[in-house]
Amino acid sequence: MNSESHSGHDPVARPHHYTFGAIEVIDAIEAWGCDFVEGNIIKYVARWKHKDGVTDLRKAAWYLKRLIDRETNNDSAG
């Protein structure tokens, strides 16, 4: 077993930028029943201070715009 396994860090299953708090981001996304777009918004907003900074906020904004456009179109169609 390597030292990463002992510390609880696994670069694939448990990377540091997702395990910095009491709740793993993927667990919240699944518990809330989020779809792909919603999950990515949450993921990028949750990790931005721990991984790619403002780049992650831009990614979240891109997905948020898609969600807004999708929901606007759904409201118009119904």
- Residue 54 inside a domain? The answer is yes
pLDDT at 10: 73
Tell whether 56 is covered by a domain: yes
Model pLDDT, residue 42 = 97
| Residue 48 near residue 57, CB atoms below 8 Å | yes
pLDDT of residue 46: 93
- Look at the chain and report how many structural domains it folds into: 1
Assigned domain for 44 exists: yes
DSSP percent split of the chain into helix, strand, coil, nearest 5: 65, 5, 30
User: How far is residue 78's CA from residue 4's CA, in Å, rounded to a whole number?
Assistant: 51
Neighbours of 69 (CB within 10 A): 10
What pLDDT does residue 4 have? 40
Give 22-72 pLDDT, tens digit per residue.
Answer: 788 999 999 999 999 999 999 999 999 988 999 999 999 999 999 999 999
In a domain, 17, yes or no: no
* The pLDDT value given to residue 6: 40
Class of residue 41 by CB neighbours under 10 A (exposed 0-12, middle 13-18, buried 19+) = buried
Domain with 72 in it: 35-78
Q: Give a yes or no: residue 11 inside a domain.
A: no
